[in-house]
Each structure stands twice: as C-alpha cells, then as structure tokens.
Amino acid sequence: MKVNPVYGKEMKLRVRSVKFAMTILLFNLVLIAIALFGFEVFFNVNINTRIDYSGAITVYFILICLEAVMVALLVPVFTAGSIAGEREKQTLEILLTTVLKPMQIVIGKLMSSISMVLLLVFSSLPVISIVFTIGGINMINVLQFVLIIIVISLYIGSIGMFSSALLKKAIPAIVLSFGILMIVCGVTVIVVFVANASANMYYYNMQSNTAPYPDVTWAAYFLLINPAFTMLEMVISQYSSENLVSALSSGLNGHIPSLFVDHWFECSIVVQLVLTCIFLFLATRFLDPLRRKEKARKTKKKRRKKKEESGGVDG
C-alpha cells in the first residue's frame, strides 16, 4: 500500500521525538487519575452510604467528553498551521512544484495533523473500557464514541485545512478555524433558540386563538452540522432511553420525520462527512492558483515560441 509522501514524512519526524511518547504517557496518566478519583468518590463506602453503580457510567461520560473537548481544541491548532506554516517558511511553492497533486498535499497534511490526536484517543481506550468491569456500557457504545471522534477530527481538521489554505499566516488561520468552529457549534444553537422565541412571540401576539402555531422545526436541521450536538445526542442516548431530537421536536411544537428522530447520529455523521469533503475541496482550490499560474506561464511561453517560429517561417 502506497503511503502519502507528505503524511509519511511528517509522521516520521513526529514519532522520532521524545515529546511524542511523553505526551501520550502524560495524557493517559491524567485520564487514569480522573478515573481513579471518580471510582473512589462513587464506590468508597466511607464516603457514600450506598454504592451507586451508575457512577461508573458517569465516569465514562466525563472521560469521553474530556477527549471530545481535547479534539476540538487541538485539531484546529495542528491543521490550521500546516499549510500556512509552509507559506511562512517559503517552502509551499517548492512542495507544489513536485509531482504531488494539491489534493494529495491537503490530505497528507490533514492526516499527519490529526494522527497525533487520534493516537491519544485510541491509546486511552483501555482506560475508558475499565467501565466494562462494572457494566452499563457495551461495545457498541465504545464503537460509537470511536466513530464520532474520528468524524469530528476529520470535520474540524478540514475546517483547519481550509483556513490554512485560505490565509498566509498560521496565527490568523488558527483564529479563523476557531471562528468557523464557533459558528458551527454556537450559531446553529442560537438559530434554534431565536426561531423558537420568534414563533412564541408571533403566536402569543396574535389576537385570534385559532391561529396555528408556526412550525419552526426547520431550524433543528442546522444542528446536523453541529458536532457538539451530535456528541451530546450520543451521550444522552447511551446514558438513558430519552431521545434528545424527539424532545427538541416537541420543544419547537413541530414534527421532525422519524428518519431523523431515530437515526440522528447516522444522519449527522453523513452531513458532516459531506461538509468535510467540501472544505477539503475548497482548500485544494485555494492551493491550485499557484500551480495554475505556473502552468499559465509555461503555456504563454510555448505560445510565444510558436508565434515566433511561425513568424520566422512566413518571413
């Protein structure tokens, strides 16, 4: 299997660093400390009058939420500085003159940037799986967590790659990627609240009691692009039998089709993967102008040469 040259080169440089091993060690030590502290609090008979085994599930959710926050904070920093960093070092033009296509460069940079974060997540699975010794969490739940972490990493990473390809400096690219992430996670929630509040104001300000309540469930579909809401929906569905999307539909006084109510997790993953492809495509397009300029310059040179040759023949 042929490895992407950009990915292979950068991963070799990272795994040779002592910081790589120390980061994994320290990260897992922190998670182990949190897990042990949680089990001590929930299962110490000297602290609790009765042992509540659901506390193990609480520890599990604390750990996976911490890892999700870590992904959201680290991935934009790693990805947004990848291409912009090459520009600052004035090595991007050299990279674009190689036989690698812009998409290969973008994919290689993306995978090398998120590999460190994904490795941290996968290395922590034995710590998270300690909940299996008590129960309440099954293998499907852990696989769902692994899947959503991979999707979120790719999704947020593609936003970082887009920002990195768009801007010339690493710091502005990081700021832009966090800004887009805040729009995706925050503004989508605000849209739902504003739509619901506007519908309530309209309904209660109508003089006629027979006026229908405005259907604003369309606002809920914006949450399909929100990875934080997808994570929250997964956690609630694993923790209890309640359905967050169904509750959202009732809160908006409308009707969300059963396809989205029963399969919101799957639908949101599909939507976010589509957006990942779009962001990567845009990042590739922003890299292309440098190569297009080079091709245009060569084409112009060839045309000038043909014109001179044809002029010489006519003379």
76: exposed, middle or buried (Cβ count in 10 Å: 0-12, 13-18, 19+):
buried
pLDDT value at position 12? 77
H or E element at residue 237: helix 227-239
* 47 pLDDT above the threshold of 70: no
Residue 102 lies in a domain: yes
3-state secondary structure of 81: coil
99 in a structural domain: yes
Residue carrying the six token digits 């506007």: 198
**Residue 11 within a domain:** yes
What torsion, rounded to 10 degrees, do the Cα atoms 241, 242, 245, 249 define?
A: 140
Average pLDDT value for residue range 166-179:
90
Supply the mean pLDDT for the chain: 82
The answer to whether residue 251 sits within a structural domain is yes
Give me the pLDDT at residue 135, please: 63
Per-residue pLDDT, 17: 74
Q: Can you give the residue range of the structural domain that contains 174?
A: 7-287
* pLDDT for 208 beyond 70: no
User: Of all residues in the chain, what percent carry a pLDDT higher than 70?
Assistant: 86
Residues with Cβ < 8 Å from 275, sequence gap 6 or more?
155, 158, 225
Residue 303 is assigned to a structural domain of this protein: no
Give Dmax over CA atoms of the chain in angstroms. 106
pLDDT at 142 over 60: yes
List Cα–Cα distances, 315 to 65, 192, 298, 301, 303, in angstroms.
78, 74, 26, 21, 18
Of 72-86, 221-235, 261-275, 297-311, the poorest mean pLDDT is in 297-311
* Predicted pLDDT at 54: 64
Q: Is the pLDDT of residue 104 over 90?
A: no
Q: Is the per-residue pLDDT at 188 higher than 90?
A: yes
Position 126 confidence tier, pLDDT thresholds 50, 70, 90:
confident
Q: Most confidently modeled of 37-41, 48-52, 193-197, 280-284?
A: 280-284
Q: Is residue 158 part of a domain?
A: yes
pTM of this structure: 0.83
The yes-or-no verdict on residue 144 having pLDDT over 80 is yes
Cβ-based burial of 86 (10 A; exposed 0-12, middle 13-18, buried ≥19): buried
Q: Is residue 281 part of a domain?
A: yes
- pLDDT of res. 315: 45
Structure tokens given for 299: 């084409």
Can you tell me the mean pLDDT for 153-182?
92
Higher pLDDT, 250 or 274: 274
Least confident of 44-58, 169-183, 265-279: 44-58
Please give the Cα distance from 117 to 133 (Å, whole number). Answer: 27
30 pLDDT more than 70: yes
Domain membership of residue 255 (yes or no) is yes
Model confidence at 294: pLDDT above 70: no
**How many other CB atoms sit within 10 Å of the CB of residue 38?**
17
When divided into structural domains, the chain yields a total of 1
The average pLDDT across 86-103 equals 80
At residue 119, does pLDDT exceed 50?
A: yes
Check pLDDT > 60 for residue 28: yes
Angle, vertex CA 95, rays to CA 92 and CA 98, nearest 5: 150
List all residues 6 or more positions away from 135 whose beta carbon is below 8 Å from its beta carbon. Answer: 53, 56
Interior/surface letters 97-117, b for 16+ CB within 10 angstroms, e for the rest:
eeebebebbbbbbbbbbbbbb
Least confident range from 89-93, 236-240, 307-311: namely 307-311
Give the least confident one: 50-64, 80-94, 228-242, 256-270. Answer: 50-64
pLDDT of residue 105: 87
What is the per-residue pLDDT across 254-292, written as a single tens digit (0 to 9) for each? 778 888 888 899 999 999 999 999 999 999 988 876 555
